Amino acid sequence: MTNNASEPMTAATPVRALLSKPWIWAFLAAAITFGATSLIAGSGAGSLFYAALTFASFSAIVGIGQMLVITLGPGNVDLSIPASMTLAATLALKFMDSETAMILPGLLVAIGVGIGCGVINFGLILLLRIPPIIATLSASFLYQSLAIWSNRGLRIKPPEPLAEFATGGALGIPNIAVVGILLAILAWVVLERAIAGRWISAIGQNLRAARLSGVPVNAVRFGVYVNSAVCAALAGFLLASFSGGANLNMGTEYMLMSIAVVVIGGSSIGGGNSNVPGIWGAALFMFLIVSMLNSYGLGAGIRLILTGVVIVGVVALASRKGYDV
């Protein structure tokens, strides 16, 4: 039987089709924790939702960059994300010096710092043939030191309109979440509809075969590493604007977070397969589980332990069932 190629194989019911999506689990988990938290907290599910969207945005933005890197295959991970965030935020806020007129140039500075970090990361990987984990980790010491050197403990406030934008929202949706969602849509289009997305996935499955199939592998990897650093820089810029200034450990928690949202979101840890909606589901879940444990009155130690257990559990479950594209 030769029927046409665009018909999906199994679409018995819409529910089953939905359940076959790997990202649905992240959203289900987020919804359950949301329900559990609002039951206890009682006060305003709406404000919890608003806060979740806000904080999930930062995780989602760095997670999108990290996801593309992880999709490149085993060994590919960007550990310089926290330092890139800090450096971009520090330099951009120093450059803007709380002047409203400098907001756009400041944003460009942040993005420029991101591009620079990405170029250095990939340069180390390609020219010196350092494994990506070591390259990005060691480069991050460089970025962090630069941030310390340029900041010298000063905390410069963001320009007033920028701070208002970062903390504000419309129609119950925070502005930052709008940025995060737009970036997610863009990433989805690139991955699912653009040639570049096919190339990224091909490299993640088999670098050698991709090269032999004519994929410009270095150009693609270069773009992905630069993109990751730019996402980190953008997240750093927004986070500093949101929280009233850059500080030197602002990126710390995003090291684990960027990887956790990729894994929990249903992307393949082994590379080749990425999942954009899952990033948002996982980012919401990661915020909500912390606030749930908070509202149950558990201490910081227990919170961290449970967060670790959740990640281990999800990875163990995810590696048991295979994904198909």
Partner 1 sequence: MQTISGAPDAPVVALDAAHMSFGPVQALRAASIEIKAGECVGLVGHNGAGKSTLANVINGRLTPTEGAVQYRVSDPAHKNSENAQASGVRSVFQELSLCPNLTVLENLRIPYRNMPRKGWRKIASQKMSDALDLVFPGHGIRPRATVGDLSIAERQMVEIAIAFADRDSEPSLVILDEPTSSLDAAIAQQLLDHIKRYCSEGGAVLFISHMMGEIFDVSTRIVIMKDGQIVDDNPAQAFTRQSIVDAMGHVAPDDDAQGSARSERELGPVLVSSAIGLNARRGEIVGLAGLAGHGQAEALAQIFFDHSSVWKSGKRPEVVFVAGDRARDGVMPLWSILRNLSLTTLPEFSKRWMVDRPAESGLVQKWKDRIGIRTNNLLNPILSLSGGNQQKVLFARALASSAPLVVMDDPMRGVDIGTKKEVYQMIQNEAAKGRSFLWYSTETDEILECDRVFVFRAGEIAAELVGDEISEENILHASFEMQEAVK
What is the contact surface with partner 1 in residues (CB under 8 A)? 1-9, 193-196, 198-199, 201-202, 205-206, 208-219, 268, 272-273, 323-325
Smallest gap, in angstroms, from Cβ of residue 197 to partner 1? 8
The answer to whether 125 touches 186, Cβ cutoff 8 Å, is: no
Smallest gap, in angstroms, from Cβ of residue 101 to partner 1? 35
Give the torsion sign (CA, 299, 301, 307, 310).
negative
Smallest gap, in angstroms, from Cβ of residue 195 to partner 1? 5
Q: Which is nearer to partner 1, 8 or 153 (CB)?
A: 8
Smallest gap, in angstroms, from Cβ of residue 28 to partner 1? 24
Q: Which is nearer to partner 1, 175 or 273 (CB)?
A: 273
Report the DSSP beta bridge partners of residue 174: 169
Report the DSSP beta bridge partners of residue 170: 173
Q: Which is nearer to partner 1, 210 or 279 (CB)?
A: 210
Q: Which residue has the tokens 């649905």?
A: 24
Give the torsion sign (CA, 243, 232, 119, 112).
negative
Smallest gap, in angstroms, from Cβ of residue 9 to partner 1? 6
**Residues 6 or more apart in contact with residue 319 via CB below 8 angstroms:** 269
Q: Which is nearer to partner 1, 209 or 304 (CB)?
A: 209
Count of other CB atoms within 10 angstroms of residue 99:
12
Q: Which is nearer to partner 1, 182 or 194 (CB)?
A: 194
Helix or strand (DSSP H, E) at 28: helix 24-41
In degrees, rounded to 5, the angle at the alpha carbon of residue 105 between the alpha carbons of residues 100 and 108 is 135
